[in-house]
Amino acid sequence: MSNKKRNTNSVGLSDVGIDEVRKALAEKGWTQQAWADHSCTSVSTVKRFLKGSKLYPSCFYSLMKKLDLEVEDGYIRHKTNTDTSPSILSTKDTSYHQVPGVLMTGKFTENKLPRIERTLKHLRILLIDSEITLNNEKGMITVHGEFPEENKELIEETIDHLEKLLESSHVTW
């Protein structure tokens, strides 16, 4: 049995949100693969997103931002640890609590891969229910996850170290 903490603040698209995202995707002329590439995430994450599956808030908002969409009340479903069924978020919803999180994308060179892998292994331990993607063919990484406030300093140090190993990177807190 795993003692891994589960993310209780995951969010997903509502049916209205799925329609709006599909329209925005078509307007940009992007395939799911192109959107995944622009977002430095996997096609499987994009497919889950388009089905309304729950994602980390950092990943959810990043995907929306790439399509130049802002989150509105009717677009997202939210799960809390007291309610396992999806509900529509509104500005009056007080059950949503912001959890610190990080989203990082970057490009790397083959010669730094062993050091990057060691750093990612350490980061995996610090983040709660993280998703870390390492694409050797494209030389790209994506890291996103949430963390308890008490790990923030360690995570910032680890992300700083990782940024120094990468050719280019973008971090969103």
Q: pLDDT band for 8, please (50, 70, 90 cuts).
A: low
Structure tokens at 3: 């003692």
Q: What is the pLDDT of residues 23-66, one digit of tens each?
A: 888 888 989 888 888 877 788 888 988 988 888 777 787 788 88
Helix, strand, or coil (residue 166)? coil
The identity of residue 47, as a single letter, is K
Query: H helices of 2-81, where?
Result: 15-28, 32-39, 43-51, 57-66
Q: Answer for the pair 25, 69: CB distance below 8 angstroms, yes or no.
A: no
What is the set of domains in the chain, with CATH numbers?
Answer: 11-88 (1.10.260.40), 101-172 (3.30.70.100)
Report residue 144: phi and psi, to 5°.
-150, 145
Say which range, 11-25, 67-81, 86-100, 159-173, has the weakest mean pLDDT. Answer: 86-100
Q: Considering the entire predicted model, what is its pTM?
A: 0.47
Q: What is the pLDDT of residues 126-141, one digit of tens each?
A: 888 778 888 888 889 9
